[in-house]
Amino acid sequence: MHWKIAAAVSVGGAIGTCLRYAINTMITTESWFNATLIVNCSGSFLLGMISGWFLASSKREWIRLGLGTGLCGGYTTMSTFAGESVRFATETGGHLAPYLFLSLAGGLIAAAVGFLTGKTLGERRCPQ
């Protein structure tokens, strides 16, 4: 592995993890799952945007991996989503479907919108 890629992913991951922690501490409501939903949907948008941008404009692999794998990987969280889904199901008597739907559909829609946004911006900045 190239040292530049490893460093970019490491720094991106650290920043993403700190951002997730900051958002989790700022969103203090009785609905504890809201922070994970917001983080995962906004992270999906960001990853989609990064993917679209780099597809259209830049070939710097280390930056793409630092932002995508590092930042977005550290920012979003599948393990928290899974754990909170189990907790939500047990604490609400099984009313899990809306949370799962919002998380999954929201993440997919956010990623698609982000991808199209990033691709459009990348094409405008660096026309082929």
Confirm if 33 and 88 have CB atoms less than 8 A apart: yes
107 is in an annotated binding site: no
76 is in an annotated binding site: yes
Confirm if 24 and 35 have CB atoms less than 8 A apart: yes
Cβ neighbors of 58 (< 8 A, separation 6 or more) are 64, 122, 126
Q: Binding site, residues? A: 73, 76
Q: Binding site for Na(+), residues? A: 73, 76
